[in-house]
Chain A
Amino acid sequence: MTTIADPKAPRPPKPRPARLTTRGNTELYGWVFMRASGVILVVLIFGHLFVNLVAGEGISAIDFGFVAGKWASPFWQIWDLLMLWLAMIHGTNGVRTIINDYAERDGVRLALKASLYLAFVVVVVLGTLVIFTFDPCPAGSPADLLPSFCTTA
């Protein structure tokens, strides 16, 4: 006779009236957002990979000058900004649902979600700041590392 874990539910379901009613369309919009952002991200990410790694001279062209040249154009600024925001919200929402599904103890769930949202804020704020305040021609840098338009200006 071997002893095994208690077969009872990990958390015995509370009586129903205690359920917090959270009706509203948040979960619905979240679900729709995951599908929509997923489709857009497929285009954005594969476009990004193609332009960076395949088009032109391919992977050997990537250096500071290449990235700086891209971010000098508002088109790539908006492309990368969209990619950053959509990927971060999509990923954070996905991890949030996983935490909701698998973290049973309230304290653990709270801690995990707090660190998740903190990581989200740090990455999004930092990334957005870099995209908009990026200086493609920092003063006093060797000209051969900078994009071509820095010397002409």
Chain B
Amino acid sequence: MQVVKKYTEPELVQLLKQRSQNAYSYLYDNYSGALYAVIVNVVADNELANDVLQEVFIKIWKQIETYDESKGKLFTWMLNIARNASIDTLRSKSFNNNRQNKELTENDYSAAGVEQTVVDKIGLRKIVHQLKEEYRVLIELSYFQGFTQDEISRMIDVPLGTVKTRMRTALIQLRQIIS
């Protein structure tokens, strides 16, 4: 989807902070697809993803005052909101399904395994699939499922130091793929 830029980023941010409907509509039209993809990547459920996307755009609207340009680009800020909201939803969904934490872990880890569904074929997750297995797993568990390196070390039974080293390689390779 090629985006025809109408505003520069500082202009867009300023207009959003001034509560401009046009700017907000522009923001939605240009970024909802990218954010929706990452939401689907995480929650793996289109119905749920619709609710999360709505929640994310309401949050962006309500919290635009707190966006600080010096800490990163607008899209980075929005992507983090979308990822965090998705992981929260994933966790509460699992909780509502009355699944124990351990079961959740195993279940989701297997979901991150080889036989993945359509979720793998869209968005950033598609890119991550180009990584070697040992690196891909780390990005899957940390980025798309929100586990800490400590937790991952225990889940895949690999020493924390090794997890850190592999994670670093995984991130550098990811950068090389997308740039």
Partners in one complex: no
Residues of B within 8 A of A (CB): none
